[in-house]
Every structure is written in C-alpha cells, then in structure tokens.
C-alpha cells in the first residue's frame, strides 16, 4: 500500500491545492465532435458524472491502491455496490455460494432479488470450509465476509480462494471490517473486494457510499453495466469527503482498536456478560485464523447477555453510547439484536447479543458507562 497515494494528490487545477477540487458538474463539454467521440469510445476524459467524474475518479484510484487492486468503481451505498457487482456478473441459471452469516442487505439481495432473476444461492456456514469447498463446482461466485456481521467469525480465505480459482469461480469479499488496512484480501487470493465506505473509509458519519475493487476487466463490466444502467452513482461532494476520510484511516483504526480491546477485556471479566466475540481476544475461538489473516481488529465486536430483555435494558441505560445501525465514525454505538427480530430469526442468533462499536472517546469513560448500565440490569 502506497500511503503517498492516500495522503497526497497531484494538483488538478494548476493552483497547487493540497486537497482535490470538487467537480460539481453534471456533464463535461467538448470543443469538437472528434474530442467527444474520442472520450466516448476510449475513455480517459469524463463525459457525464453518472459514469465518471474527476473527484470520484480520485477516490476510486485511492481505493484501488488501498486494496492493491487494478481498478475500483464507487457507488452511492455499500448495498448499491454489491447489487451492481452481482447484477453485472450473474445471469439466469447461475449459482452463488455465500458464507454465512452475511450482512443483512446482502442477504436480502441473495434471497429476495436474485431468485426473481433465476439466480440461486447456497448459504453455507462460513466456518465450515469443507462444505464451502464442496459447493464450489458449477458456481459462478463465492461470496465471503470475514469477519462476519454480528458474530465476527472468520473464513479460511486461502484454501477457499485457491479452490474457487481452480473451479473458475469468482471470489468476492465484503471487506468493510478490514478496510484494506487490517485485512488485505487480494493478498490471500480474493478476486474482488466490496466496501461499505459509509463506515471506516468515511470515518465521520456523514456519507453513505460503497466501492468495488478488483481486476480491471471485471471493473469495466461493473462500470459499464452496474453503474451505467442501475444509476447508483456517487456524488462528487461525497467522494471528496471520502478522500478526506482516507487521509486519517490508519490513525483512526489504531485508536478504535486500542480502545475496543480495552472495552472488550472489561466486558469479558464482567459477571453479567456470557461471552465476548472479538477476534483480538485470546479467548476468541478462531484465534489462529485471526493471527493468520488480520493485521488488526478495529472497533467493532459483540457480546452476549442473558436474554433480549437484558440487552434492551443495557442499551437504554447507556449515556455515552448511543443506539444506531451503522458504525465507523467518531461516536460509540450499541445495537441490541433483540431490536432486530428478522436478523435474529434469519441466523438463529441469541437475543441477548449486543453489537458494540467503540468510537474515539476515551476508553475509561466508555467502560464506566458500560459498568453503570450493566449494574442496572
């Protein structure tokens, strides 16, 4: 990863600016028909912001560098990025093998939207490497998310991606957790990476966006079909905010990680907490896989209380932590899964499970908040 690429930009305006300009244009005009035809046929110069825009292209170049990919395409949300990728590459009769549990929005695409188009999905426990390997022959896409949503379970990426490549199956991973810093999937054989850039890449809770990164030929297909025809383009201002977020990504992740580990160790020692699901703890069941694949653990994890009523009471009793469905910003959040019955029922999660995101507040203050809320249960 070239941090020079993430921290510095060549001036585009000729005025020596240290941050890229926001090209708030819907289109780009040409002096001659020949110039227009050249741009339409060969690219290289923006024509219409729904397809390419200089500010968005700056972000895409940086994300590709972050992940070590040939190219990237940005979208208006993480779900739009995943949908554009799947709709661009799949056709009737294709089959997806998906390691579970997957993010709820992706689960909806796989089980609600794709079957209408004649695409089937085989949902397999992500910890069962042998079952995933056995399902690969004849599949079109292997869809991974490591660690998984809510329970933070890892998949053994290298044997899966090697087998997928041998079987002619495209491997795709949701790398929102690793953010291209704490997990580098392409180094372990993954073909395509998807991000909800709303989370760590933004880092300020002020953008909703998504990005896909991978081989140039696949990205051309995603841009030419998924972006052009679905129309879920990223706006220039949001792209500019994400470029800003990338500049502090590594620093923010380090703070999230240190504080979250401190909070997780406190929770692990508390008598009201049944278990803590955090890949950085020695008690984590897949500790060896965490050492193999993760360079860090960030700020998000889960812990389990006795039941859904206890989880609700904890969330209502917190003062610094707020209740919210997203994460990755400066603010600390909790999400009791008891408040999301459809998610609980889809994967038979325990109702006492609480997802916690540790923001940028001091860890001792967050621990004190959890301590007083746990005492009220």
Q: What is the pTM of this model?
A: 0.93
Bridge partners (DSSP) listed for residue 27: 48
Domains and CATH numbers, the chain: 3-247 (3.40.640.10), 249-375 (3.90.1150.10)
Is 174 one of the catalytic residues? yes
Q: pLDDT band at residue 26, thresholds of 50, 70 and 90?
A: very high
Interstrand relation of 95-100 and 141-145 (parallel, antiparallel or unpaired): parallel
In whole angstroms, what is the distance from residue 129 CA to residue 300 CA? 24
> Tens of pLDDT along 203-232?
999 999 999 999 999 999 999 999 999 999
Q: What is residue 200's predicted lDDT score, i.e. its pLDDT?
A: 98
Considering 62, 127, 184, 199, which one is annotated as catalytic? 199
Is 50 one of the catalytic residues? yes
Is 150 one of the catalytic residues? no
Q: pLDDT band at residue 236, thresholds of 50, 70 and 90?
A: very high
Token pair for 193: 């990476």
Considering 107, 127, 150, 174, which one is annotated as catalytic? 174
Instruction: Residue 172: name the closest of 156, 185, 158 by CA.
Output: 185
Is 127 one of the catalytic residues? no
> Tens of pLDDT along 33-74?
999 988 888 777 899 988 899 999 999 999 999 999 999 999
Considering 103, 150, 182, 200, which one is annotated as catalytic? 103
Concatenate the DSSP letters of all residues of 199-228 into one string.
TTTT-SS----EEEEE-HHHHHHIIIIIIH
């Amino acid at each position: 990863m070239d941090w020079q690429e993430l921290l510095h930009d060549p001036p585009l305006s000729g005025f020596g600016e240290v941050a890229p300009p926001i090209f708030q244009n819907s289109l780009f005009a040409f002096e001659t028909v020949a110039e227009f035809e050249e741009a339409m046929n060969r690219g290289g110069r923006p024509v219409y912001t729904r397809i390419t825009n200089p500010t968005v292209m700056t972000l895409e170049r940086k994300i590709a560098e972050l992940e070590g990919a040939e190219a990237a395409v940005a979208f208006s949300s993480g779900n739009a990025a995943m949908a554009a990728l799947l709709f661009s590459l799949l056709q009737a009769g294709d089959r997806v093998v998906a390691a579970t549990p997957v993010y709820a929005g992706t689960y909806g695409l796989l089980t609600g939207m794709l079957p209408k188009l004649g695409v089937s999905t085989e949902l397999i426990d992500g910890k069962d490497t042998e079952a995933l390997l056995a399902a690969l022959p004849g599949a079109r896409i292997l869809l991974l998310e490591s660690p998984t949503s809510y329970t933070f379970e890892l998949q053994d990426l290298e044997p899966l991606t090697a087998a997928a490549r041998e079987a002619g199956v495209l491997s795709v991973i949701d790398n929102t957790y690793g953010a291209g810093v704490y997990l580098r999937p392409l180094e372990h054989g993954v073909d395509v990476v998807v991000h909800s850039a709303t989370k760590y890449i933004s880092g300020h809770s002020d953008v909703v966006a998504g990005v896909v990164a991978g081989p140039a030929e696949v990205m051309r297909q995603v841009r030419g079909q998924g972006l052009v025809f679905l129309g879920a383009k990223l706006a220039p201002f949001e792209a500019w905010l994400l470029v800003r977020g990338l500049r502090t990504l590594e620093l923010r992740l380090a703070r999230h990680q240190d504080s979250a580990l401190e909070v997780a160790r406190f929770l692990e020692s508390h008598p009201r907490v049944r278990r803590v699901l955090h890949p950085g703890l020695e008690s984590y069941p897949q500790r060896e896989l965490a050492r193999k694949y993760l360079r860090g653990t960030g700020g998000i994890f889960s812990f389990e209380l006795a039941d859904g009523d206890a989880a609700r009471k904890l969330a209502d009793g917190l003062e610094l932590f707020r209740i919210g469905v997203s994460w990755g910003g400066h603010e600390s959040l909790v999400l009791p899964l008891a408040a999301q019955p459809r998610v609980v029922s889809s994967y038979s999660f325990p109702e006492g499970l609480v997802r916690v995101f540790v923001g940028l507040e001091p860890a001792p203050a967050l621990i004190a908040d959890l301590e007083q809320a746990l005492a009220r249960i």
